[in-house]
């Protein structure tokens, strides 16, 4: 069966391709974000709002999870943070009249961009079975409907409760409580598609599913690897931190198939000197790796380090650390010494000289940090790859001391906090025990469904109710057609959302839209808390008037639904809704590390969660030590005439929210259906820059096609290509996932480019 993505894109007729930029941020960045902000919310509101971002008494930027520094400048945000804020603080509104005018079937044919541009949701809406329209519904009726459907299920496991990573700690905590009180661990979250591979690998090897460095470590480090990450677009404030690290003497090595603008040069918009002038050269070394070559690269680096230690025994390997704190070194060493260099060169596309020069840098560095994001986590072998990064660091004792460690750079602004609060389909027994002790009910022990398994359960009719706390499940997940059909089979889908998106249009038989407050908006006199990528917990207080008087905060939505669902209950839902301090007191008793939560989070800047590997070189693994692991190098060989495709973000998008149709740094304007290919590959394939092609992936169950992409000759690594997500999600089958973490393989898909014969109508 051939699966094709329906063409929903507009505006590509105007597509224009210029030359890519060598540097990121600076004047065009600020000007561009202000343009988007003015259009969404006018000049006055723009300045009032942006002045609050990431200030100590303001709200946490809904952009990314990069931590705030201690010394905040007046405008502690970046171009893309400003766009995320503008998207939420927009003055545009989606009203009941809008839904009367636009049937669901029509909305399903619109692009993610068009849907997002319609503005903020304003009141609860309901689509009845068989109807093609959403109509207004009262909050009370909405909760009754959900409670009735949930109670009518044969088993609590027939319901799925998704979370996207913007949800606050308080909302996440009461949400997982409701779900477990109801009786299931079906808590899939965006992490399953994001850093799950990091969590799996780090828990096994270091005993914690998070990073082990603080901002200060970056400033003390000698050498920072930035692997599989595009911070210029996705974590712009990280560039300021790297700039400061470099001032203190650090060197930066970028490992990426693409020469991303921010990694090459950076002009800091926070400083006058950054706005003019040439900016800072970011990467001292750029390893243009082939997609999926990172496991081989880190094995090669480690092998060279072992050899260097042979030549000068005791000078390279941190023997004391290895002996005292690690397990499995001998087996790993034996395995690495057998490394096949032919395989390394084929997998990485790098020369031996490039690797040797990198080893020289490693030998000269007393402390090393490896940062990474989606370029490492979304492959079949992602977990082994990240384990190999850990091996490389352990060898020289680069964990648990200043300036050294692992730094998975998280995506959504509170995705890490949500996991800490128990949003996890495989909760540890200790967490469930603590919940039982706190609330006196027996939480379910059986593991629940993650994202991919949730889609299978819907597809196979095993799940019937789908509830989403934020996000855009339909557009974020792989195998678009399979997933859309699966969601449409649900008896009820419920979306708690700020903005209109595709998951409202591709919905169950019955569907509810529950509009909620965003980060920027006032929630009475209450504040919420979030945890950033480095385990700092701090308060976030919205200041803007809510987009509509009919919005409820996420906490209230959960607590009111719980009261309908459970009736008389021992859990104080009403109190939780009114008083977030009461929620935080409960978190303090259930989640380790939150002692004196209410007092400490009120201190400016908040507090840092304990981190055993970082703080005491203690590793809570099965062996009680940090584990060296043996990982097979299997070169991902691409058949003749095919390329390895990665799906990534443009500069003008936040995941499935499309801010605009430009990708300025890569020279793309007014369109998104483009594929970046190395010119040598184009010559080999006989395809010219500017031609239109279909992207086709071939699988045992048939081909999948994403139609109509303009080819751009681009300096990506040979044999590789890149196109934007979510347009390309159709190419990844549900079963193509990372081993262990079950994360869709969005970064390594074998595709063929098929030249398109334009029909007259196009």
Ligand X SMILES: Nc1nc2c(c(=O)[nH]1)N[C@H]1C(S)=C(S)[C@@H](COP(=O)(O)OP(=O)(O)OC[C@H]3O[C@@H](n4cnc5c(=O)[nH]c(N)nc54)[C@H](O)[C@@H]3O)O[C@H]1N2
Residues engaged in binding ligand X (CB under 6 A): 63-64, 80, 164-166, 190, 193-194, 227-230, 233-235, 255-258, 260, 289, 291-292, 294, 373-375, 411-412, 469-473, 476, 496-499, 501, 516, 518-519, 554, 646-649, 653-657, 725, 728-729, 746-747
580 binds, among Mo ion, ligand X, none (CB under 5 to 8 A by kind): none
Smallest gap from residue 537 Cβ to ligand X (A): 18
CB of 686 to Mo ion, least distance (A): 37
Min CB(289)–ligand X separation in Å:
5
As measured in angstroms, the least distance from the Cβ of 194 to Mo ion is: 3
Query: What are the distances in angstroms from CA 77 to CA 50, 437, 603?
Result: 8, 41, 21
Q: Residue 705: left (phi > 0), alpha (psi -120 to 50), or beta?
A: beta
CA-CA distance, 617 to 598, in Å (whole number)? 28
CB-nearer residue toward ligand X: 321 or 654: 654
Q: How far is the CB of 404 from ligand X (least distance, A)?
A: 20
In angstroms, give the least distance from the CB of 326 to ligand X.
25
Residue 144 tokens read as 């009754």
In sequence order, the 6+-apart residues with CB closer than 8 A to the CB of 728 are 645, 647, 695, 706, 749
Interacting residues with Mo ion between 37 and 56 (CB under 5 A): none
We find the least distance from the C-beta atom of residue 713 to ligand X, in angstroms, to be 16
Q: Which does 291 bind (CB under 5 to 8 A by kind): Mo ion, ligand X, none?
A: ligand X
Tokens of 289: 């790796």
Task: Assess contact for 95 and 134: CB atoms under 8 A.
Answer: no
Name the minimum Å distance from CB 476 to Mo ion.
9
Nearer to Mo ion, 168 or 184 (CB): 168
| 189/681 with CB nearer Mo ion | 189
When CB distances to Mo ion are compared, the closest residue is: 411
Q: Closer to ligand X at the Cβ: 170 or 554? A: 554
For ligand X, the closer CB: 595 or 680: 680
Minimum distance from CB of 235 to ligand X (Å)?
6
Choose the binding region for Mo ion from 101-109, 189-197, 522-530, 731-739 (rule: CB under 5 A): 189-197
Q: Which does 614 bind (CB under 5 to 8 A by kind): ligand X, Mo ion, none?
A: none
Residues in the chain, total: 762
Question: Is 86:46 a contact under the CB 8 Å cutoff?
Answer: yes
* CB closer to ligand X, 492 vs 731: 731
Query: Please, what is the minimum distance in Å from the beta carbon of residue 22 to Mo ion?
Result: 27
CA 683 to chain centre: 35
Among the candidate windows 117-125, 192-200, 261-269, 401-409, which touches Mo ion by CB under 5 A? Answer: 192-200
Secondary structure letter of residue 665 according to DSSP: G
Piece in contact with Mo ion (CB under 5 A), picked from 188-196, 389-397, 660-668, 706-714: 188-196
C-alpha 717: how far from its chain's center? 24
Q: Which stretch binds Mo ion (CB under 5 A): 3-11, 211-219, 266-274, 404-412?
A: 404-412
CB–CB of 493/508 below 8 Å?
A: yes
Q: Is 474 exposed, middle or buried (0-12, 13-18, 19+ CB in 10 A)?
A: buried
Is residue 491 within 8 A of residue 497, CB to CB? The reply is: no
Q: Which helix (H) or strand (E) holds 34?
A: helix 27-41
Q: How far is the CB of 400 from ligand X (least distance, A)?
A: 25
- Classify residue 742 as left (phi > 0), alpha (psi -120 to 50) or beta: left
Binding segment (CB under 5 A) for Mo ion, from list 108-116, 411-419, 615-623, 752-760: 411-419
Please identify which residue in 411, 422, 443, 535 interacts with Mo ion, judged by CB under 5 A: 411
Using the rule CB under 5 A, which residue among 194, 463, 536, 644 binds Mo ion?
194
Q: How far apart are CA 155 and CA 152, in angstroms?
A: 9
Span from 200-208, 405-413, 502-510, 565-573 in contact with Mo ion (CB under 5 A)? 405-413
Q: Which stretch binds Mo ion (CB under 5 A): 124-132, 403-411, 502-510, 523-531?
A: 403-411
Q: With contact defined as beta carbons under 8 Å apart, do 358 and 287 qualify?
A: yes
CA angle 128, 131, 135 (to 5 degrees): 60
Considering only residues 303-342, where is the footprint of Mo ion by CB under 5 A?
none
Kindly tell me which of 194 and 674 has the beta carbon lying closer to ligand X. Answer: 194
Closest to ligand X by CB, 37 vs 472, is 472
The burial of 684, by beta-carbon neighbours within 10 Å (0-12 exposed, 13-18 middle, 19 or more buried), is given as middle
Cβ proximity to ligand X, 17 vs 717, nearer residue? 717
Question: Minimal distance in Å, beta carbon 166 to ligand X?
Answer: 4
Enumerate the β-bridge partners of residue 127: 511
Question: What token pair was written down for 267?
Answer: 């002009």
**What DSSP state is assigned to residue 24?**
E
Question: Minimal distance in Å, beta carbon 10 to Mo ion?
Answer: 26
Q: Report how far residue 599's alpha carbon sits from residue 581's, in angstroms, rounded to the nearest whole number.
A: 10
3-state DSSP call for residue 743?
coil
Comparing CB distances to Mo ion, the nearer of 384 and 411 is 411
The candidate with the shortest Cα–Cα distance to 639, out of 687, 717, 697, is 697
Which residues have CB under 8 Å from 567's CB, separation 6+? Answer: none
| Nearer of residues 377 and 629 to Mo ion, judged by Cβ | 377
Q: Tokens 């950076």 label which residue?
A: 266
Residue 168 or residue 611: which is nearer to ligand X going by CB? 168
User: In the complex with ligand X, which residue's Cβ is closer, 422 or 443?
Assistant: 422
Q: Are 498 and 121 in contact (CB under 8 A)?
A: yes
| DSSP type of residue 12 | G
Distance CA 455, CA 461 (A): 10
Query: Which residues in this chain contact Mo ion in the complex, by CB under 5 A?
Result: 194, 411
């Amino acid at each position: 069966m051939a699966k094709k993505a329906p063409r929903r894109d507009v505006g590509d007729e105007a597509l224009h391709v210029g030359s890519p930029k060598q540097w990121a941020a600076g004047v065009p960045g600020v000007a561009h974000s202000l343009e988007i902000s003015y259009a969404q919310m006018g000049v006055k509101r723009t300045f009032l709002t942006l002045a609050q971002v990431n200030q100590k008494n303001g709200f946490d930027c809904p952009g990314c999870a990069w931590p705030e520094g201690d010394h905040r400048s007046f405008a502690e945000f970046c171009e893309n943070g400003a766009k995320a804020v503008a998207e939420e603080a927009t003055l545009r509104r989606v009203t009941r009249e809008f839904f009367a005018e636009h049937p669901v079937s029509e909305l399903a044919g619109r692009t993610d961009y068009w849907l997002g541009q319609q503005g903020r949701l304003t009141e609860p809406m309901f689509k009845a079975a068989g109807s093609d329209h959403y109509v207004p519904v009262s909050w009370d009726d909405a909760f009754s409907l959900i409670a009735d459907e949930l109670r009518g299920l044969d088993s609590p496991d027939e319901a799925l409760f998704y979370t996207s990573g913007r949800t606050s700690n308080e909302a996440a905590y009461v949400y997982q409580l409701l779900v477990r009180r109801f009786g299931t661990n079906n808590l899939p979250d965006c992490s399953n598609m994001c850093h799950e591979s990091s969590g799996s690998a780090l828990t096994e090897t270091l005993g914690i599913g998070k990073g082990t460095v603080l901002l200060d470590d970056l400033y003390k480090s000698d050498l920072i690897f930035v692997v599989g990450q595009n911070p210029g677009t996705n974590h712009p404030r990280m560039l300021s931190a790297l700039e400061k690290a470099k001032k203190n003497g650090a060197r930066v090595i970028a490992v990426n198939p693409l020469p991303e603008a921010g990694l090459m040069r950076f002009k800091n918009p926070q400083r006058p000197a950054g706005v003019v002038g040439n900016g800072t050269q970011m990467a001292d070394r750029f390893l243009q790796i082939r997609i999926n070559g990172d496991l081989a690269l880190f094995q090669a680096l480690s092998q060279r380090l072992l050899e260097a230690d042979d030549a000068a025994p005791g000078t390279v390997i941190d023997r004391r650390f290895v002996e005292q704190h690690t397990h499995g070194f001998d087996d790993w060493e034996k395995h690495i010494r057998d490394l096949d260099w032919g395989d390394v060169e084929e997998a990485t596309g790098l020369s031996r000289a490039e690797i040797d020069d990198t080893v020289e840098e490693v030998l000269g560095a007393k402390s090393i940090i490896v940062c990474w994001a989606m370029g490492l986590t979304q492959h079949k072998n992602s977990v082994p790859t990240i384990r190999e990064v850990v091996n490389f660091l352990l060898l020289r004792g680069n964990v648990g001391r200043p300036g050294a460690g692992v730094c998975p750079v998280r995506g959504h602004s509170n995705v890490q906090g949500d996991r800490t609060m128990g949003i996890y389909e495989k909760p540890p027994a200790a967490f469930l025990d603590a919940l039982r002790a706190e609330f006196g009910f027996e939480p379910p022990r059986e593991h629940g469904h993650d994202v991919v398994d949730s889609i299978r359960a819907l597809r196979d009719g095993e799940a019937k109710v789908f509830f989403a706390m934020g996000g855009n499940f339909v557009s974020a997940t792989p195998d678009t057609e399979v997933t859309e059909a699966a969601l449409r089979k649900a008896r009820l889908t419920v979306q708690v959302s700020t903005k209109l998106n595709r998951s409202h249009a591709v919905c169950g038989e019955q569907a509810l839209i529950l509009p909620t407050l965003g980060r920027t908006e006032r929630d009475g006199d209450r504040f919420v808390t979030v945890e950033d990528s480095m385990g700092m917990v701090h308060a976030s207080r919205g200041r803007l008037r809510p987009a509509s008087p009919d919005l409820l905060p996420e906490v209230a939505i959960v607590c009111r639904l719980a009261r309908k669902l459970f009736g008389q209950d021992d859990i104080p839902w009403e109190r939780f809704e009114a008083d977030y301090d009461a929620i935080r007191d409960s978190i303090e008793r259930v989640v380790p590390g939150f002692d004196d939560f209410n007092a400490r989070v009120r201190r400016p800047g908040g507090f840092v969660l304990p981190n055993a590997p970082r703080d005491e070189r203690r590793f809570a693994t099965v062996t009680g030590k940090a584990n060296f692991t043996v990982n097979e190098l299997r070169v991902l060989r691409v058949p003749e005439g095919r390329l390895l495709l990665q799906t990534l973000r443009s500069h003008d998008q936040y995941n499935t929210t499309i801010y605009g149709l430009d990708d300025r740094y890569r020279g793309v304007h007014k369109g998104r259906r483009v594929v970046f290919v190395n010119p040598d590959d184009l010559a080999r394939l006989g395809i010219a820059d500017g031609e239109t092609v279909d992207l086709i992936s071939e699988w045992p169950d048939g081909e999948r096609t994403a139609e109509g992409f303009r080819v751009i000759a681009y300096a990506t690594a040979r044999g590789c290509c890149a196109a934007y997500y979510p347009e390309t999600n159709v190419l990844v089958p549900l079963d193509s996932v990372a081993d262990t973490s079950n994360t869709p393989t969005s970064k390594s898909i074998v595709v063929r480019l098929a030249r398109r014969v334009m029909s007259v109508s196009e």
